[in-house]
Amino acid sequence: MKKQILYLFTFLILVSISCTPKKGQKTLSEGTVKDIDGNIYKTVKIGSQWWMAENLKVTHYRNGDKIPCLTEDDEWDRPTGAYCYCDNDTDNIGKYGMLYNWFAVNDERSIAPEGWHVPTDAEWQQLVDYLGGDSVAGGKMKSTGTIEGGDGLWLDPNEGATNESGFSALPGGYRYNHGVYDGLGINSYFWSSTESNGGNAWYRYMYNGNSDVYRDDSGWKQGGYSVRCVRD
């Protein structure tokens, strides 16, 4: 009987040790959220914020109105909400989600799932600061692996990518205001909901060549960037 108790006690200690995070190791709180189209996204808690861990791919505003899908270059440059998919290739929707112009991001009908919103510039900065600042946060946010290595969606070298945060940033590239696509596999561009001036808004971007997160106020409102949402 004493041996059995000793074995049980030893087993419980081993289980406790194996389930306890090692020093410096972070545990992730994860969940899901559904948009009005029925798409289900993974979510992750980073600091005190809950973020979508996948790029938005909704095609309707929260009230059910359709968001126009504009694929032709000459119709993309317009001051009303619209979306497209990377390189006009439908195979990219499942990988990278959609690209939206800022007018869709800023529409009062909202492109975010119920209970969520497109982050402000300040909310992006809160995330970056929590992850250690501009020079290291990108590596902690980028999904790992490379296209060349067959284990990711970034082009080589995907420098510094650990995805320690669980944010899983994807290199969906961007679309210029005149309609041309660029940066697929190289850059993650994400809108904020914060306007910088009449023609531009704040955004964040990451690059396959380093671990930085860049903050910029020159995003053309007619440009196409990826969208991540944060919980209200």
pLDDT of residue 46: 98
pLDDT digits (tens, 9 = 90+) for 61-92: 999 999 999 999 999 999 999 999 999 999 99
pLDDT digits (tens, 9 = 90+) for 110-132: 999 999 999 999 999 999 999 99
CB atoms under 10 Å from CB of 196, counted, come to 16
Q: Which amino acid does the sequence have at 189?
A: Y
| Residue 105 near residue 193, CB atoms below 8 Å | yes
pLDDT of residue 6: 42
In the chain, where the domains are located: 32-231
What is the C-alpha separation between 52 and 190, in angstroms, rounded? 12
The secondary structure of residue 72, as a DSSP letter, is S
Strand, helix or coil at 102? helix
pLDDT digits (tens, 9 = 90+) for 130-179: 999 999 999 999 999 999 999 999 999 999 999 999 999 999 999 999 99
Helix (H) or strand (E) holding 6: helix 2-19
Report the chain's mean pLDDT, rounded to a whole number.
91
pLDDT of residue 120: 98
- At residue 27 the predicted structure's pLDDT band, cuts being 50, 70 and 90, is low
Model's pTM, two decimal places?
A: 0.88
Residue 32 has phi, psi (to 5 degrees) of -145, 160
**Stretch among 19-28, 141-150, 199-208 having the lowest mean pLDDT:** 19-28
Burial profile 160-185: b = 16 or more Cβ within 10 angstroms, e = fewer: bbebbbbbbbbbbbbbbbebebebbb
